[in-house]
Every structure is written in structure tokens, then in C-alpha cells.
Amino acid sequence: MVFTSAINLIRAKGPDEFWRKRRIFKLAAHFVGRKRNCYSIAVRYVHRALAYATKGRKLKKMDMRSLWETRVTAGCNQHNMEYGTFRESLVRSDILLNRKTLADLAIWEPHTFKSLTDIAKRRAIDDGLVCLNNKEEPVDRIITRGTLANKS
Amino acid sequence: MSALKRVQQWATFARIWHIYDAAWQNPFQSAELIKRYLMGLHKPIYHPMNDCGDNVIVINSSEIALRGDEWKKRSYFHHTGYPGGATWTLAWDLHSKDPTMVLKKAIYNSMDGNLQRRYTMERLFIFPDANVPSKLLGNVSNQIRQLRPVPKRLDHYTEDEVQTCPKIIDYPTDYVVR
């Protein structure tokens, strides 16, 4: 867009002063002290809060992700497995579950989670991933092409 | 809430007592392991705001093993707060003063410094030998597996085992065995 007259370069004043301040005060309503009552102080803290909110949207996702990883690691360690081996083996078995689902399964469906670790262990043994903590543990109830090929 | 669900709830959130034998273990690697049990990181229900950590009893802390010459090189700093009050104590010196301190500091330092850390440490009980009060020992329901096998010293073998062990070489007749 090309401005042909200087009139468009004047900054728009916006709405009436009352409504402008009211918009800031509404955002500052839950602050404590002069931050919520005095406009010149409130507007600074509102701008800071909005900046934190912008950063927080990303941080929240990262925090949840690390929490799920901690929980799934705990679930794996109960069955003598490393987190990395577990995820890699699941991907190789075409079980594409994300961290959130795995963490929920570890908490609410421990038997389902155990069968997932059994599948992952069988896959890790078949593919020769050397990261298993306890190699002697029997995982015979999982049948894969690898086990069938070995038996025949 | 049904009786089953109620018991399930208790079983999920109950604090369990673990025991760990620190004999011949690296205290700093052991700290990472014990920390997981103290903070509840070994449970899938873990959350930083969720107080789900367990109690841990550590025995034989006087028999921990530091690698290399760390007994002589590792120093522990303390400051009394007064001018000139700084002291640096070597690990062997600290261990001779209090045989639980090296392990305790290792576990304390392995955790993040937050308000919960001191309360988490209160759930840790370290004993320099195997003499644990029966009041504590009665609670124990799990043993944490040691990180490395305890080596057996030559003087712990019986005379028969030493004699029957197959010899690889004969010492020369003029060799002085010290």
C-alpha cells in the first residue's frame, strides 16, 4: 500500500482514554498492590506479563514433554528397560505412540504398558540392540517373524 | 469409593522403604540411583509438585569406594562465616571424621537446590555399618540392587579354597615374596 498523503502517517489515537486504560486494567486485575491500581505502573507490568505468556506457551509444551519422558522412563525401569531402547524398539515395531499416551498407559494401564515393554524387548533382541539391562529375562510370549525364523 | 479402589489408592501413594548396601560402591553413581528413589522418580505417577518419594536406608557407608586417587584429591569446602573461616577438607579426612558424610553430600548435591531438597533428605537414613535400628529395619520391603559386584578379598577366602585354586605359575626359587 502506498501512502500518498501525510495524513495517514499520523499515529492513530485509538479509542477514548477511559477505554484504553480500562483494557490494561482488566489485564492487571489479578495483580497485587499499585500494579493493579496505577495506570503507568500497571501498563509496564501488563506488557511484561504478556511477554511471559508468549514465552510460557512454548515452555509449557517443553515441560510437559520432559515430565512425560520422566514418567515413561520410570515405567520402563520397572521392567528393566532403558527409555531410548524402548522408544526405538516401539518405532521399529510400528507402534507409533507418543510420550503422552505412553505416560498415561504407564500410570493407568500398567499391564498394557508391560506388554508394550515385552514387545519392545523382543524387538530389541531380534534387532540386536545391545542396550537391554537383563538379557536373561524370558520374553517368550511375544511371537515375531524373527523368533519364528530362529525356531524353524 | 469401593474398598478395592481405596486399597489401590493407599498402595499407590504409600511410602515404601528401600535398603541399599553401599559397600564397594561409587558414592556419586550411587547418589544418582538413590536420588531417584528419594524423589519418587522411579514411579510413573511422578510430578515435581507430587510428594511421592520413598524412604531409603543406606548401610555400610564407611566401605564406599572412590576411584583413583580421589580420596586424596577431592576436597570439601566449608565456611564458618567469619573472616578467614574457610576450610578445605580432603575426602579421606572427612571420611575419617564422619563415614556417612561423603555419601550424604553426594546425594544432597545430586538433587536440584529447591525448597523440597531438605525435606527429601530427611527421608534418607545412612549408617556407617550394618547396625540398623530394628525400628527402621522392620519397615524395609525392597532392596536396591548394587551398581557393581562386591569384589572378594584374598583374606576372605577360606584356606581350602586358596589351596585348591589352580596355580598358573610357580615362583622362581630365588623370588622374594613380600
Say how far apart CA B135 and CA B16 lie, in whole Å: 15
- The domain that holds B59 is classified in CATH as 3.90.1180.10
Average pLDDT for A94-118? 95
Say how far apart CA B142 and CA A31 lie, in whole Å: 49
Residue A131 has pLDDT above 70, yes or no: no
Chain B residue with minimal CA distance to A110? Answer: B44
Structural domain contains residue B171: no
Structural domain contains residue B177: no
Q: What pLDDT does A147 receive?
A: 65
Among residues of chain B, what percentage have pLDDT more than 90?
84
Note whether B104 contacts A: Cβ–Cβ < 8 A.
no
The model's pLDDT over B83-97, given as tens digits with 9 standing for 90+, comes to: 999 999 999 999 999
Residue B178 has pLDDT above 90, yes or no: no
How many domains, chain B? 1
Q: What pLDDT band is residue B177 in, cutting at 50, 70 and 90?
A: confident
Q: What pLDDT does A146 receive?
A: 65
Average pLDDT for A53-57? 97
Contacts of A89 (CB under 8 A, 6+ apart): A119, A120, A121, A123, A124, A127, A129
Note whether A78 contacts B: Cβ–Cβ < 8 A.
yes
Note whether B42 contacts A: Cβ–Cβ < 8 A.
yes
Note whether B46 contacts A: Cβ–Cβ < 8 A.
yes
Say how far apart CA B44 and CA A106 lie, in whole Å: 6
Contacts of A132 (CB under 8 A, 6+ apart): A80, A81, A82, A85, A121, A124, A125
Structural domain contains residue B175: no
More confidently predicted of A122 and B16: B16
3 state DSSP class of B55:
strand
Residue A26 has pLDDT above 70, yes or no: yes
Shortest CA gap A79–chain B (Å): 11
Q: What pLDDT does A120 receive?
A: 92
Structural domain contains residue B8: yes
Structural domain contains residue B42: yes
Q: What pLDDT band is residue B131 in, cutting at 50, 70 and 90?
A: very high
Task: Read off the DSSP letter of residue B111.
Answer: S
3 state DSSP class of B65:
coil
Q: What pLDDT band is residue A124 in, cutting at 50, 70 and 90?
A: confident
Interface test with B, best of A107, A116, A117, A134 (most B CBs within 10 A): A107
Q: What pLDDT does B171 receive?
A: 86
Among A85-89, B45-49, B105-109, B174-178, which stretch is predicted with the lowest mean pLDDT?
A: B174-178
Would the CB atoms of B45 and A67 count as touching at under 8 Å? no
Residue B103 has pLDDT above 90, yes or no: yes
Shortest CA gap B87–chain A (Å): 38
Residue B40 has pLDDT above 60, yes or no: yes
Shortest CA gap A152–chain B (Å): 38
Give me the domains of chain A, ranges plus CATH numbers: 15-59 (no CATH), 61-151 (1.10.1900.20)
Note whether B149 contacts A: Cβ–Cβ < 8 A.
no
In A44-73, the residues whose Cβ lies within 8 Å of chain B are 67, 70-73
Among residues of chain A, what percentage have pLDDT more than 90?
66
Structural domain contains residue B9: yes
| Domain limits for position B108 | 3-164
